[in-house]
Amino acid sequence: MKSKLFRSLQAFRTAQCPVAVVTDRVSGAQALVTAGQVSGDLALAEGTLLGIRGMLAGDASGEVDGLLVRVYGPPWTLVLVGAVHIAQALAPMAALAGFAVKVIDPRRAFATELRFPGVELIVDWPNDVLAASPPNARTAVVTLTHDPKIDDVGLIAALRSPAFFIGALGSNRTHARRKARLAEAGFGEADIARIAAPVGLDLGGRLPGEIAASIVAEIVGVRHGRPRQRP
């Protein structure tokens, strides 16, 4: 890759802008393609460019019209609010599904390396953490503590972001009370409807690992355009 193109690629990746490197295997010519820009010394027909941008949107590398396409996208991230038992099972499952996982909990007794080996732990209030590092369109946020003082501020920060998935653990009765509190905080019905609650597909399981599996399954489905229909 030519040095100028390489510097552009690094700049796109630093800015967490999805970008595709397109290579003609015969000539060696290359181009960088983003959602709104094309650069490099490889000319691309409109139909080919459309296919490349489809791959870019789908986060999928491969071939288009004989050209090699390598897609570089920002990481998919799962933010778990609450270092609870379900989070202990959920964190490694989500990592296996391709998510960078963060666990946030202001309670030092819960957020320990012993309970979450190898997981990024942040001992702080979720609103402060999410204000410093706001969720983007490739971020899922799930609250798990059952403590409104912790969960609500995490949900408020998530609702103010373009997070692609927001979920909350708890019963329908718990969620009804949560909705009332969020309405008092100024959120409308459409905002509150973004919250998947009770979070997780209805698989029938009740063990922490089973609930964790149902949550991962729902998030993966939404990531691939299959949102769950809720009553």
**Does residue 189 register a pLDDT over 60?**
yes
Lookup: tokens for 158: 């998530």
Rounded Cα–Cα distance for residues 34 and 21 (Å):
9
Q: Is 219 helix (H, G, I), strand (E, B) or coil?
A: helix
- Taking only the tens place, the pLDDT of each residue in 63-118 is 999 999 999 988 899 999 999 999 999 999 999 999 999 999 999 999 999 999 99
What pLDDT digit, counting tens, does each position of 129-185 carry? 999 999 998 999 999 999 999 999 999 999 999 999 999 999 999 999 999 999 999
Question: Residue 198: which pLDDT band, with cuts at 50, 70 and 90?
Answer: very high
Domain positions in the chain are 3-72, 76-223
Phi (first) and psi of residue 209, to 5 degrees: -65, -35
Write down the CATH number for the domain with range 76-223. 3.40.50.720
For residue 198, whether the previous peptide bond is cis, meaning omega lies within 30 degrees of 0, is: yes
CB within 8 Å of 137: residues ≥ 6 apart: 162, 163, 164
* Percent of residues, the chain, with pLDDT higher than 70: 98
